[in-house]
C-alpha cells in the first residue's frame, strides 16, 4: 500500500472517526489508524449530554433519561432535565461512526496498527512508516502526539464494571469525605448497567477507589466479578488543538471535563471542527469554542469551591439545588 497521505489520524475513537467523516469524499487522502482489532470498545460510562445534539446517533441503541438522581451521602435529590441525558455502548457508537466512512474512497483504515514514533513529516508504526502533510492526534489521554508536541497532561481516573442487572435510574453518588469532588455513577444501558467511580488520583489512591466501588456494589447487591473491572485515565489539561500542521482532538487535547468526566461529546465536536479547519484554514471553530466555554464554567465551579471556607458536602448541596434550575442547567451544560 502507499505510505504518503495528506492527513494521518491516529486513533479511531469518536474524535478520530468524526474527523475522518468530515474529510470523506474530498480531494485529501486520509489514513486512519487504530491500535485495536475492533473499532469502538473502550472503558467508558457511555454518557451523552446535550452537547451531542445534532450528531444523528442511533436512538435504537441508546437509553434516554429526562431526570437524574443525586445522592450526597444518604440524602436523595431528583433533578428534572431540560435536555435528556443519554447512554450508549461504546461498541455501538464506534460502529455507527465507522459506518459513515467505510465506503469513502479517499479514506484508508488500518486496524491493529500501533504508532511508536512521530517525526515532523512521518509516523513510524508496527506496519511501516507513513508520511503526512497534516497529523491529527486522536489517540486518547495517553497521547503519543501530545508527547511529541511536548505538552504535559493532568488526569482523573475512571474505574468501572458492567453488571447484568438493567436498572431504571441514572444516578450520581457523592461522598465528599472519601471522594471529594469525585463520585460513583450508575449508568443504565440497553442490556446492562455501567457502574463506576470517578476520582482524582491526587486525593484518592486507586486501591482505595476500588474499595469504594466494591463496597457500593456489595451494599446494593449488584452481581459483579473483579475480573470485569476496567480503568481509564482522562486527561483534562487543555493546551490547544492547533499546532501548525499537527492537531489534537478529544481526550488527547485535554477536552474532558475535570468535574463531570464527560468526553464523548467534546471528542466528536473537536473531531468535526478540526476536519473543517484542515479543509479551510481560516475556519473559526465556533462549536469547539462553545465546548471550551462549558468546560471552563464547570471547572471554575470547583475552583470557587476550593477557595471557600464551606465544607465540600455543603457546597455539593448548593450545587445540586442550583442544577435543579433551568438557567443553571443551561449555563453549566451549554
Any idea what the CATH number is for the domain that residue 281 is in?
3.50.50.60
CA–CA dist 5, 31 (Å, integer): 6
Task: State the Cα–Cα distance between residues 259 and 102, nearest whole angstrom.
Answer: 35
Measuring CA to CA, which residue among 146, 126, 130 is closest to residue 138? 146
H-helix or E-strand spanning residue 216: helix 206-219
Q: Give the residue-averaged pLDDT of 126-144.
A: 98
In a domain, 51, yes or no: no
CA 123/CA 45 separation, integer angstroms:
31
3-state secondary structure of 94: helix
- Give the pLDDT mean for 5-11: 98
Beta bridge partners of 42: none
50-108 pLDDT, tens digit per residue, is: 888 888 899 999 999 999 999 998 899 999 999 999 999 999 999 999 999 999 999 99
pLDDT given for residue 128 in this prediction: 97
Q: Which domain range does residue 252 map to? A: 4-42+90-153+236-307
Q: Is the Cβ–Cβ distance between 136 and 241 less than 8 Å?
A: no
| Rounded percentage of the chain residues whose pLDDT exceeds 70 | 99
| Of 218, 33, 63, the residue nearest 130 (C-alpha) | 33
Task: Go through the chain and tell me how many residues it has.
Answer: 334
Kindly state whether residue 323 falls inside one of the protein's structural domains.
Answer: no
Residue 128 inside a domain? The answer is yes
- Helices 90-99 and 14-23 pack at an angle, to 10 degrees, of 10
Largest alpha-carbon pair distance within the chain? 62
Number of domains composing the chain: 1
**301 vs 124, more confident:** 124
- Asked, for residue 117, whether it belongs to a domain, the answer is yes
Mean pLDDT of the chain: 95
* C-beta of residue 244 within 8 angstroms of C-beta of residue 277: no
Q: Read off the pLDDT of each residue in 125-131 and give the average, rounded to a whole number.
A: 98
Residue 75 lies in a domain: no
> What cell numbers appear for 313 in the block?
458536602
Cα separation, 303 vs 295, in Å, equals: 13
Amino acid at each position: 500500500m502507499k505510505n504518503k497521505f495528506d492527513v494521518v489520524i491516529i486513533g479511531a475513537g469518536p474524535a478520530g472517526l468524526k474527523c475522518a467523516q468530515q474529510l470523506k469524499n474530498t480531494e485529501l487522502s486520509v489514513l486512519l489508524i487504530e491500535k485495536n482489532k475492533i473499532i469502538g470498545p473502550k472503558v467508558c460510562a457511555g454518557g451523552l449530554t446535550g452537547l451531542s445534539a445534532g450528531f444523528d446517533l442511533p436512538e435504537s441503541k441508546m437509553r434516554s433519561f429526562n431526570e437524574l438522581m443525586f445522592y450526597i451521602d444518604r440524602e436523595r435529590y431528583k433533578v428534572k432535565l431540560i435536555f435528556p441525558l443519554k447512554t450508549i455502548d461504546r461498541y455501538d457508537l464506534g460502529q455507527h461512526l465507522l459506518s459513515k466512512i467505510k465506503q469513502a474512497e479517499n479514506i484508508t483504515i488500518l486496524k491493529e496498527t500501533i504508532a511508536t514514533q512521530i517525526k515532523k513529516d512521518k509516523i513510524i508504526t508496527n506496519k511501516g512508516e507513513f508520511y503526512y502533510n497534516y497529523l491529527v492526534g486522536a489517540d486518547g489521554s495517553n497521547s503519543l502526539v501530545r508527547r511529541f508536541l511536548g505538552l504535559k497532561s493532568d488526569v482523573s481516573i475512571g474505574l468501572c464494571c458492567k453488571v447484568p442487572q438493567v436498572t431504571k435510574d441514572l444516578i450520581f453518588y457523592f461522598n465528599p469525605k472519601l471522594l471529594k469532588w469525585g463520585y460513583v455513577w450508575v449508568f443504565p444501558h440497553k442490556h446492562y448497567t455501567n457502574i463506576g467511580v470517578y476520582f482524582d488520583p491526587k486525593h484518592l489512591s486507586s486501591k482505595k477507589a476500588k474499595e469504594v466501588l466494591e463496597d457500593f456494589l456489595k451494599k446494593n447487591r449488584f452481581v459483579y466479578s473483579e475480573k470485569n473491572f476496567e480503568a481509564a485515565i482522562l486527561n483534562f489539561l487543555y493546551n490547544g488543538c492547533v499546532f501548525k500542521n499537527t492537531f489534537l482532538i478529544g481526550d488527547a487535547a485535554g477536552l474532558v471535563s475535570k468535574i463531570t468526566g464527560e468526553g464523548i461529546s467534546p471528542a466528536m465536536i473537536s473531531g468535526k471542527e478540526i476536519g473543517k479547519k484542515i479543509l479551510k484554514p481560516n475556519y473559526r471553530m465556533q462549536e469547539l469554542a462553545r465546548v471550551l466555554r462549558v468546560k471552563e464554567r464547570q471547572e471554575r465551579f470547583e475552583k470557587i469551591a476550593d477557595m471557600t471556607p464551606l465544607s465540600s458536602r455543603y457546597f455539593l448541596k448548593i450545587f445540586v439545588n442550583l442544577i435543579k434550575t433551568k438557567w443553571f442547567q443551561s449555563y453549566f451544560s451549554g
